[in-house]
Amino acid sequence: MASVYVDGVWKRFLLRKDRPDSVGQLLVRMIPGRNRRPKGEAFWALRDVSLAMPAGVSYGIVGSNGSGKSTLLKVLTRTMTPTQGSVRVAGRVSALIELGAGFHPDFTGRENVYLNASILGIDRVTVERKMEEIIDFADIRPFIDTPVKYYSTGMHARLGFAVATSMEPEILIVDEVLSVGDEAFQQRCMDRIFRMKRQGTSMLLVSHDLSAIERLMDQALWIDQGVMKMNGRPRDVVHAYRESLVAAPETSVEEMPAGAGPLQLVRAVAAALNNASDTVVSGEALEVAIDVQHEGVAQKAHLSFTLRRPDGLEIVSLSTFRDAAPIELKTGSNTFKAVIRELPLATGRYEVDAALHSAEGRLLQEWKSAAEFTVQSMERTASLMVLPHEWKVG
């Protein structure tokens, strides 16, 4: 059975700051008695990281840039060895960690598909059977017989992901390399990841797309400066990570928009449009409203509401950014509303998350479970939605 177990892994690098920057300095160091190699400064990229991923489980890894996420994946794929601790990986692994990794620049795209497959232990007959699928997914048919050194960044990403996911791996390891693709390609990648997850493929995914981690993964791990900060349910881990970003944003003071002062949620309500009840009849209108107190100066901003089930399953996200309709965040009291004219949800309890972003896209504040509401449907169904329909015979 495919599984991944990481037990107390540490990874150290030596940073040498006094390296020769000329041939002369290098020759001086070759003189007897002058060959003093500078001592390296120890840098711990991973500190006592442990992870248990049984067969069929998907794990998302979150953290800021330089936190050690990619180092952990390289240890798991055996491109790096841990300084201390042990790693056990059982099952056929397919990994996409660095853009172009495993590709020979002078080989064509087709030749590199065969090369990558041979590294994974896939026979040539299987590769030939899947070749057309790989070419179609990568969408590089006119260039498949061109050396990959002429490929664009996006073409590298598409071909690499197509190969990694088409060879029926038991464990799929993917780094943030997908961020280089366009939006349509990223959605296709997520659709394929979701399909592989349903088929029982174990996954390790590093991504800054936190909503994808919440939606697709069974467990999540937050790494900060090489240290495990939290390990558990994706919703809980992502929420804690987001709170840390709000408390200590990476953006410098100079980059912060003027007047991005404290924001306080005064009130949040999700209710039926006509009677203000928190119980909405399926198919009728829902109004979501928040009252916000802003202590900074007025500015353009963007608001988003996310409707989800209590277990974290995201149903729909409304965003003024996607709708190209920025809001005015005034100094003092603000009230914002959104109306969904028809809400075709099944009976159940639902929650609403709210978030405010600056006009440049920086997260200003986020409120998880800001409001709750109940849907009552006249139809019995085990699914999520109740859609108008009719049956016809003949």
Of 147, 143, 77, 144, which is closest to residue 107 (Cα–Cα)? 147
Q: Is residue 120's pLDDT more than 80?
A: no
User: Tens digit of pLDDT for each residue in 193-232?
Assistant: 878 888 888 988 888 777 778 777 889 999 999 999 999 9
The pLDDT value given to residue 385:
86
The pLDDT value given to residue 213:
82
Domains of the chain: 3-14+43-247 (3.40.50.300), 263-376 (2.70.50.60)
Q: Are 221 and 62 in contact (CB under 8 A)?
A: yes
With cut-offs at 50, 70 and 90, classify the pLDDT of residue 29.
low
Pairing mode, strands 93-96 and 327-329:
unpaired
Q: How far apart are CA 86 and CA 163, in angstroms?
A: 29
Q: How far apart are CA 300 and CA 329, in angstroms?
A: 6
Rg (CA), the chain: 25
User: Tens digit of pLDDT for each residue in 297-347?
Assistant: 899 999 999 999 887 788 999 999 888 899 999 999 999 999 999 999 989
Rounded average pLDDT over 18-42: 62
Q: Are 304 and 354 in contact (CB under 8 A)?
A: yes
Q: List C-alpha distances in Å: 271 to 17, 97, 310.
A: 61, 45, 17
Of 184, 194, 131, which is closest to residue 157 (Cα–Cα)? 184
The pLDDT value given to residue 305:
95
User: Tens digit of pLDDT for each residue in 140-169?
Assistant: 899 999 999 998 888 888 888 888 888 788
With cut-offs at 50, 70 and 90, classify the pLDDT of residue 260.
very low
- Confirm whether pTM is higher than 0.75: no
Q: What angle, 0 to 180 degrees and rounded to 10, lies between the N-to-C axes of helices 124-138 and 153-166?
A: 140
Q: Pull the structure tokens for residue 383.
A: 């699914």
Largest CA distance in the chain: 97
The pLDDT value given to residue 183:
65
Pairing mode, strands 219-224 and 58-62:
parallel
Of 163, 51, 25, which is closest to residue 107 (Cα–Cα)? 163
User: Tens digit of pLDDT for each residue in 224-254?
Assistant: 999 999 999 888 898 888 778 765 444 433 3
Q: How far apart are CA 68 and CA 216, in angstroms?
A: 22
Contacts of residue 331, defined as CB under 8 A and 6 or more positions apart, other chains included, come to 259, 294, 295, 296, 297, 298
Which alpha helices (DSSP H) does 66-222 contain, by range?
69-76, 109-119, 124-138, 153-166, 183-198, 210-216
User: Tens digit of pLDDT for each residue in 56-112?
Assistant: 888 999 998 889 998 998 898 888 899 999 999 888 888 777 655 678 889 999 999
The residue assigned the tokens 């139809």 is: 379
Contacts of residue 281, defined as CB under 8 A and 6 or more positions apart, other chains included, come to 272, 375, 376, 377, 378
